[in-house]
Structure 1
Amino acid sequence: MPKAEETVLEIDLNALKKNYTHLKTKLNSNTKFMAVVKAFAYGNDAAVIANFLQTIGANYFAVAYASEGVQLRKAGITAPILVLHPLPSNFDAIIEHCLEPNLYNSKVLNEFIKTAATKNQNNYPVHIKFNTGLNRLGFTKNDVKLISNKLAETSTIKVASLFSHLVASEDLNEKAFTLHQIHTFKNIADNFSNTVGYKPMLHICNTSGILNYPEAHFDMVRSGIGLYGFGNSETENKHLTPIATLKTIISQIHTIKKGESVGYNRGFISDGNYKTATLPIGHADGIGRQYGKQKGYVVIKGKKAPIIGNVCMDMIMVNITNIDCNEGDETIIFDKNTTAEDLAQTANTISYELITGISQRVKRTFLK
């Protein structure tokens, strides 16, 4: 890998392919794979990631918002794209760009049918989400008749899939809850199919669902975090490779004497003689203030260098007292060895928050 000359997020597409292939081995050959590329593909560049996954066989893509789907269409994605949280104000754009909305309550169902009718659509593919316990978005099991009655009144839409979202598929202490969700979803799906007279695709499994509940793979699965190298458990992490390396360089080295302070609000006051390195990355780049004051760390020359003082907007300062290094030397924020999950844990958060928060002003490079 090339040495860093600036702050850069280096993305390994070979690792992405490895993760995709590993997850595919868990599925039956006829189970479709939906790649979740919302939030800039979890901070990695949605256009590049989705185009690569499309070439190696991903069947579907999922984004959170319509604008993300529009960007993918403009980037050359031709596969179906599910918009997980569409808003009525975006329905025109959804239809214009052949995106497929999740209809999760009566309001969005009625309004999408109205919009589709004004555009003379016929059997436009939509997805119906049912709430089985997450209590975030979705119809209830008691809404099947309401939905079927509405479908009977129009030919503008047709249900491509029914889906739900597992609450705690990574936590085997919550296995009973997860199994109850799966059972509830099966009953809803059976009731729906019997009522409307056809069987849409079914999907409920996220990455941890893929790994822990093979009986619930149904017609399609959805994977986000697993594609990017995290399996939500130590066991599964061994089979996946984080695809991103965030690295930067040392801009300047300082000698700090006893009683001197470092950074804003004197966030670090020296109790002896220290050496510090200033790095060109800060909370505007996604390294939040919660990593400051010796909670988080970077790696220089294979050694941990704690972040001292408060994280600045564009810079952090780290303790290099016991590290032999120079200005211009490469610094690792996270990679496949010292992972984003490791760093996130120092601030009592999760890898998802860290990797999706890496600012788009950070340069992305791709290894193929």
Structure 2
Amino acid sequence: MVVIASPDDRWSWIEIDLSALRRNTTAFKRRLERGVQMMCVVKADAYGHGAVRCANAMHAAGADQFAVATVREGVELRRAGIELPILILSQPPVESVQTLVEHDLMPCVFEADFALALGEAAAAAGTVAKYHLIVDSGMTRIGVLPADALELRRAIDFHRGLECAGTLTHFATADVPDDRDFALQLNRFHSTCQAIRDAGLDCGLVHCDNTPGTLLHPECHFDMCRVGIGLYGLDAAETTRSALALEPVMSVRSRVTRVVYPEVGAGVGYGMTYRVPKRNIQVATVPIGYADGLSRTLSNNMDVLVGGRRQPQVGNICMDQFMFAVDVNANRTCCPVPEVHVGDVVTLIGADGNEQISADEMARLRGTINYEIVCNFGQRLEKIYV
């Protein structure tokens, strides 16, 4: 493992490998036919990886557009100098229309009142606001129902301040092979787009494939694909694991702040859920806790890497710290376990020597998905780009 300088004010950080991010982006771009655009999803601060730095790296690797979840996220990209088209993956509150126009952000639209307010704001500013029509093809989250899509377009297309730049839907089961619900969603979306075209209206860029859809359903690439979690080197599902070799972009690391040899029977942490079982057990403290994204549900149920070896976390994980144990007598005759010391690097996610802990491993222990793991770690820990 290459050890880099840790932050001066706290011995905990996440490393973001921008070279791996660029390679992942290029790998997805190569899956697309010539002329098919790639929209890179950088919502939630690029899934905890840092939206601005990641967007710049993706742009260099072939991104055509970006997608975010909130208006504020879009404004952040614009203020950082990002000039590519930016889609808000929702219909934001109507109070945001001035901000959308000011920063040239494209919202998703599924209600006429919002669209017309957006058009009025754009016309007053002497410009045209672009939007993407979002169709609820069966996920039952957001979007106009297929039966109402053409009526909505007719109700708003007269406005000189509006331009439909795209039509999209979102699949709920794109990662499930031969899935009936996926087939139904695709059929509804295709029929909706055809009805709009038959009425003489322009759909703009038609897009529906997310990360698993991009890998498993090339027949639905259409005009553009929206790629998210895969860009960060994480598989969207087991079914996509063998579809494309990806490189994890995020590692989570810290340094030991304290090491002691407690007496046999000594308790560790709140509630003393772990007690030292024998002599020559080191207990080391690490300055990461559940406020940093290390879920308390992992208490006494996860490993960390130190010096290329797995060591068990012990005691309840605290808000800002946790502890792990080292049995320095373990396998002493054939493979002695060295002591740990203050300042030693501890890896929660990432590689150390021949060992590796993935976001997927931590997700399985928590009963969640890798998306949540990386998003949580990105909220408070300082990002170091390598």
The TM tier, using the shorter chain, reads over 0.9
Partner of 1:2: 3
Deviation at 1:366, TM superposition (A): 1.4
1:148 positional shift: 2.4
Tell me by how many angstroms 1:268 deviates: 2.0
Q: Work out whether 1:200 is the aligned partner of 2:215.
A: no
Deviates more, 1:317-326 or 1:340-349: 317-326
> SS state of the match for residue 346, structure 2?
strand
Q: CA deviation at 1:306?
A: 2.1
Structure 2: distance between partners of 1:196 and 1:258: 80
**Of 31, 51, 58, which aligns to 1:26?**
31
Shift of 1:9: 1.1
Using the aligned pairs only, state the percent identity. Answer: 30
Residue in structure 2 matched with residue 275 of structure 1 by the alignment: 282
1:196 to 1:111, Cα distance in 2 relative to 1, 3 A:
farther
Q: 2:372 aligns with which of 339, 344, 353?
A: 353
SS at match of 1:145: helix
For residues 156 and 127 of structure 1, the distance between their equivalents in structure 2, rounded to whole angstroms, comes to 14
Return 1-10 or 98-107, whichever deviates more.
1-10
- Which of 121, 128, 132 pairs up with 2:137? 132
Separation of aligned partners in 2, 1:356 and 1:289: 16
Gaps of 5+ in 2: 331-336
* Structural mapping, 1:83-102, within 5 Å: 83-85=88-90, 86-102=92-108
Corresponding residue for 1:326?
A: 341
2:47·2:378 contact (CA, 8 Å) conserved in 1? no
CA–CA distance in structure 1, aligned partners of residues 200 and 256 of structure 2:
63
For residue 308 of structure 1, report the CA deviation from its aligned partner. Answer: 1.6
Change (3 A) 1:237 1:198: closer
Whether the 8 Å CA contact 1:295–1:347 is kept in 2: the answer is: no
CA gap of 1:153–1:363, structure 2 versus 1, over 3 A, is same
Aligned-partner Cα distance in 1 for 2:100–2:378: 26
Q: Report the Cα offset of residue 208 of structure 1.
A: 0.5
Structure 1 residue 187 and structure 2 residue 175: aligned? no
- Residues 189-246 of structure 1 show CA distances to partners (whole Å, capped at 9, x for unaligned) of 1111222432411111111001100100100001110000012237337600001111
Distance 1:152 1:314, change over 3 A: closer
Amino acid in the other structure paired with 1:362: L
CA contact (8 A) 2:111 2:152 kept: no
Matched, 1:262 2:263: no
- State the match for 2:167 in structure 1: 162
Match of 2:229, SS state, is coil
Deviation at 1:285, TM superposition (A): 1.1
Q: 1:1-368 counterparts in 2 under 5 A?
A: 1-3=2-4, 5=6, 6-85=11-90, 86-122=92-128, 124-172=129-177, 175-231=179-235, 232-233=237-238, 235-236=241-242, 239-273=245-279, 274-292=281-299, 294-321=300-327, 322=330, 323-324=337-338, 325-335=340-350, 337-367=356-386
Question: SS at the partner of 1:53?
Answer: helix
Query: TM-score, normalised to structure 1's length?
Result: 0.93
What TM-score do the two structures reach when normalised by structure 2?
A: 0.89
AA of the residue aligned to 2:286: L
Pick closer, same or farther for the CA change 1:102–1:238 going to 2, 3 Å: closer
User: What SS does structure 1 have at the residue aligned with 2:104?
Assistant: coil
Partners of 2:261 and 2:282 within 8 A in 1 = yes
- The separation in 2 between residues aligned to 1:333 and 1:88, in whole angstroms, is 42
Report how far residue 135 of structure 1 moved: 0.9
Number of aligned positions between the proteins: 364
Pair 1:268–1:4, CA change in 2 (3 A)? farther
How far does the alpha carbon of each residue in 1:28-73 deviate from its partner, in whole angstroms, 9 at most, with x for none?
Answer: 0110000000111111111111112122321000000000000001
1:258 aligns to what SS in structure 2?
coil
Q: 32-41 or 9-18: which moved more?
A: 9-18
Question: Which whole-Å deviations, capped at 9, do the CAs of 1:249-303 have from their partners, x for residues lacking one?
Answer: 11111223332211112232334343211101111111121111x2222111222
Deviates more, 1:136-145 or 1:206-215: 136-145
For 2:112 and 2:260, how far apart are their aligned partners in 1?
A: 61
Using the alignment, how far apart are the partners of 1:15 and 1:152 within structure 2?
Answer: 43
Contact 1:305 1:318 in 2 (8 A): yes
Distance 2:127 2:152 in 1: 18
Deviations 1:126-149 (A, max 9, x none): 001011121111110011232122
* Counterpart code for 2:118: F
- State the secondary structure of the residue aligned to 2:119: helix
Partners in 1 of 2:66 and 2:249 — Cα distance? 19
Q: Is the 8 A contact 1:63 1:84 kept in 2?
A: yes
